[in-house]
Amino acid sequence: MNELINDVKIDAFHSFQDEIIPVIEFKKRYGDKIGILGGVDMDKLCRLENTELRQYVRSILQECMPYRYALGSGNSIANYIPLENYLAMLEEGLNWFDKQ
């Protein structure tokens, strides 16, 4: 990753899976050098119950916002993601801004 940031000069990174590297860990390692896009794990976005999902998204926002972070999924929003879970993720993002 350091070569991509320093030599290739990428300025943002997308596509995260908690099994590989959670977005919060990536933010701790590289967040002062590169923008971070997404990070809500697709499996969790698909499977978690509403309350658990909202807590998970809030934890990402607390650790990653406001500097160099854009809330979103770990990848594209697939058609199998429950609409209510996708909307819950977006609502938590809006709520985060209301609390600031």
Total number of residues shown for the chain: 100
DSSP 31-80: TTTSEEE--B-HHHHHHS-HHHHHHHHHHHHHHH-STTEE--BSS---TT
Q: Give, for all 100 residues of the chain, the pLDDT tens digit.
A: 899 999 999 999 998 889 999 999 999 999 999 999 999 999 999 999 999 999 999 999 999 998 899 999 978 888 999 999 999 999 999 999 887 6
Q: What is the pLDDT of residue 49?
A: 97
Q: What is the pLDDT of residue 98?
A: 80
Task: State the pTM of this model.
Answer: 0.90
